[in-house]
Amino acid sequence: MTHNVFAAIQLNLKRNTERTLLSIPGGRRLTGSDLDSESAKLASVLIDLGLAPGDRVSVQIEKGWMNVILYLAVLRCGAVYLPLNSAYTNSEIEYFLTDAESKLHVCGADRLDHVESLKSSIPKLQTLTLDGEGGTLVDAFEAAKAVSKTFTDIVGRDSDDLASIIYTSGTTGKPKGAMITHSNLVANAEMLTEAWNYRSDDVLLHALPLFHVHGLFVALNLALMNGGSVIMLPKFDPDTVLDAIPDSTVMMGVPTYYTRLLADQRFNRDVSGHMRLFISGSAPLLVETSDEFFERTGQRILERYGMTETGMSCSNPLNGDRRAGSVGPPLPGVEVRIVDEDGAELPRGEIGSLEVRGEHVFKGYWKLAEKTAAEFKGDWFITGDMATLSDDGYVSIVGRGKDLIISGGLNIYPKEIEDVLNDQDGVVESAVVGVPHPDFGEGIVAVLVGEQELGMEALQAACREKLAGFKVPRRWIQLDSLPRNTMGKVQKNLLRDDYIESFK
Closer to ligand AMP by Cβ: residue 395 or 446: 395
Of these partners, ligand AMP, ligand MLC, none, which one is at the site of residue 470 (CB under 5 to 8 Å by kind)? Answer: ligand MLC
Which residues lie below 8 Å from residue 455, measured CB to CB, with a gap of 6+?
426
Total binding residues toward ligand AMP, as defined by CB under 6 A? 19
Q: Are 405 and 397 in contact (CB under 8 A)?
A: no
Instruction: Say how many C-beta atoms besides its own lie within 10 A of residue 37's C-beta.
Output: 17
The distance of closest approach from Cβ of residue 435 to ligand AMP in the complex, given in angstroms and rounded to an integer, is: 16
**Does 441 help bind ligand MLC (rule: CB under 6 A)?**
no
Residue 160 CA to chain centroid, in angstroms? Answer: 21
Q: What Cα–Cα distance (Å) separates residue 353 from each residue in 306, 338, 380, 392?
A: 15, 5, 12, 19
Q: How far apart are CA 377 and CA 362, in angstroms?
A: 14
**Does 213 help bind ligand AMP (rule: CB under 6 A)?**
yes
Closer to ligand AMP by Cβ: residue 385 or 418: 385
Q: Which of 327, 382, 448, 467 binds ligand AMP (CB under 6 A)?
A: 327
Torsion of CA 277, 283, 284, 289, to 10 degrees: -50
**Does 396 help bind ligand AMP (rule: CB under 6 A)?**
no
Closer to ligand MLC by Cβ: residue 32 or 209: 209
Give the relative orientation of helices 255-262 and 287-297 as an angle to the nearest 10 degrees: 50
The distance of closest approach from Cβ of residue 240 to ligand MLC in the complex, given in angstroms and rounded to an integer, is: 11
Q: How far apart are CA 302 and CA 103, in angstroms?
A: 40
Dihedral sign computed on CA atoms, order 221, 222, 224, 230: negative
Nearest to 308 by CA among 411, 205, 395, 401: 411
Binding segment for ligand MLC among 207-215, 315-323, 361-369, 425-433 (CB under 6 A)?
207-215
**Does 355 help bind ligand AMP (rule: CB under 6 A)?**
no
Of these partners, ligand AMP, ligand MLC, none, which one is at the site of residue 151 (CB under 5 to 8 Å by kind)? Answer: none
Q: Which of 67, 282, 290, 388 binds ligand MLC (CB under 6 A)?
A: 282
**Does 85 help bind ligand AMP (rule: CB under 6 A)?**
no
The distance of closest approach from Cβ of residue 397 to ligand AMP in the complex, given in angstroms and rounded to an integer, is: 4
The distance of closest approach from Cβ of residue 188 to ligand AMP in the complex, given in angstroms and rounded to an integer, is: 13
Q: Are 135 and 129 in contact (CB under 8 A)?
A: yes
**Does 189 help bind ligand MLC (rule: CB under 6 A)?**
no
Nearest to 191 by CA among 309, 72, 313: 313
Of these partners, ligand AMP, ligand MLC, none, which one is at the site of residue 248 (CB under 5 to 8 Å by kind)? Answer: none
Binding segment for ligand MLC among 139-147, 195-203, 213-221, 362-370 (CB under 6 A)?
213-221
**Does 223 help bind ligand MLC (rule: CB under 6 A)?**
no
Angle, CA 87 vertex, CA 84 and CA 92 arms, to 5° = 65
**Does 256 help bind ligand MLC (rule: CB under 6 A)?**
yes
291-320: which residues touch ligand AMP (CB under 6 A)?
A: 303, 305-308
Q: Are 91 and 416 in contact (CB under 8 A)?
A: no
DSSP alpha helix (H) spans, 226-268:
238-244, 255-262
Judged by the rule CB under 6 A, the positions of this chain that interact with ligand AMP are 168, 213, 281-284, 303, 305-308, 327, 383-385, 397, 400, 406, 411
Judged by the rule CB under 6 A, the positions of this chain that interact with ligand MLC are 208-209, 212-215, 235-236, 254, 256, 281-282, 306-308, 407-410, 440, 469-470
